[in-house]
Amino acid sequence: MPMSAPAKLSEKSILLNAAVIVAALGYFVDIYDLVLFSIVRIPSLQELGITAQSELLEKGVLLLNMQMAGMLLGGIGWGILGDKRGRLSVLFGSIFLYSIANIMNGFVQDIYMYAFLRFVAGLGLAGELGAGITLVSEVLPKEKRGYGTMIVATIGISGAVIAGAVGDYFGWRTAYFIGGGLGLLLLFLRLGVYESSMFKNVKAVEDVTRGNFLSLFTNGKRFWKYLKCILIGIPIWFVVGILITFSPEFGVELGVQEAVSAGKAVSFCYLGLTFGDLISGYLSQRLGSRRKVVMAFLGLSAVFILMMLLGRDFSINRFYLLCTALGFASGYWAVFITIAAEQFGTNIRATVTTTVPNFVRGAVVPLTLTFEALRHPLGFLPTAMLLAAVCLAIAIVSIFTLEETFSKELDYLEPI
């Protein structure tokens, strides 16, 4: 069911500039907060009186799980709201929520309030990316929207580099204040950002069902398409959640000549991700294909994973170079989310685009649990190799069987 209502060129130009800039800066602050917590986790817990190594790990896992629970619930809630109320309400509502939570994190005095605020921050962080990508995808010309989502992801991922610098050179409370302040400052840029005309046209039709999350599971074809959109992103978070998160342990297993710093491994990985998102987005536009680019980057991921897991006696510099290479090969995040946005109709697009990346992030939980369960009977490196093979295989099958969506017309409704 097409919903044609072409925007005037002058109006579309305004939407292009404002929407892309605000979505990109919002994702920048989003990634800043996600990475910042990993960086300041130990010093913040120590200042709150938690000093025993075992308790630092236990409470750190609690805070991470609270944040992840917030992101999973928030992903569903914001996605539904984005299709019912609009993309802008979610974009700015999520930025406001995680900014306030960030500022409040700087005032915490006990672990329980810290955990609650990480849950609230997770709720807020869950909405910005999906709403931003949906808005950008709908307001840009279909031949150019890949460039818009490329800019959003590239600028956004670079927030991790800033988080690393701020976390290292400022106290953890100040670092949280800076993140919250950046988010609130961003809200002043909301002037000049307009709602997607596609969404406004759908909203004007009274009998159209919008934001029905359960409809993704009640139709077999729709469910498999939704599941494939999630599965193509799993290798990204295998790299980030297993290889990079546990990089100190991998360093020992691989005989790296010096102790590996998890903070440096994360920074180098995200540096690679920044350039990977830039190149993958650009190539998808030049080649006129999302599928070819994702396949190429999955192949690169397989090569660099093998180079890491089969290598021995690395120098520390070579190890960090591999972390950067793994990040680069995982840098198809922008293309992956664009694919999700392009697979579904306007009446459920925000729900899909917001939930898919959060479910991919949530996949870290079963991945880490599986890794922990298998590493003793199989061995540390063989378990990592097995998980890598499974993640890459399901991603390759998923992208190969998904529809090519480059330059697809998005002004249509999903039959529900």
pLDDT at 17: 67
pLDDT at 148: 87
- Name the residue with tokens 């898919």: 356
| Rg of the Cα atoms in the chain | 21
pLDDT at 192: 64
Q: CB of 27 within 8 A of CB of 156?
A: yes
pLDDT at 222: 94
pLDDT at 5: 43
Half-sphere exposure of 81 (CA within 13 A, CB side): 20
List, in sequence order, every residue forming a beta bridge with 412; answer none if it has no partner: 2
pLDDT at 190: 67
- Name the residue with tokens 């950046």: 182
Q: Report the C-alpha gap between 263 and 279 in whole angstroms.
A: 25
Task: Give the alpha-carbon dihedral of 101, 104, 110, 112, to 10 degrees.
Answer: -20
pLDDT at 46: 87
Q: CB of 411 within 8 A of CB of 344?
A: no
* Domains defined for the chain, CATH in brackets: 8-192 (1.20.1250.20), 208-416 (1.20.1250.20)
Q: Which of 310, 284, 293, 307 shows the shortest CA–CA distance to 151? A: 284
- The one-digit pLDDT tens for each residue of the chain (416 residues) are 444 444 444 444 444 567 888 888 889 988 898 888 877 877 888 898 887 766 776 787 788 788 888 888 999 999 999 999 888 889 889 999 999 999 999 999 999 999 999 999 999 999 988 888 898 888 888 878 888 888 888 888 888 888 878 877 888 899 999 999 999 988 877 666 777 888 888 888 877 888 889 999 999 999 999 999 999 999 999 998 889 888 888 888 899 888 888 778 888 999 999 999 999 999 998 999 999 999 999 999 999 999 999 988 889 999 999 999 999 999 999 899 999 999 999 899 999 999 999 999 888 888 888 888 888 899 889 999 999 999 999 999 999 999 998 888 888 888 87
Q: CB of 128 within 8 A of CB of 98?
A: yes
pLDDT at 301: 97
pLDDT at 2: 44
Q: Report the C-alpha gap between 71 and 85 in whole angstroms.
A: 20
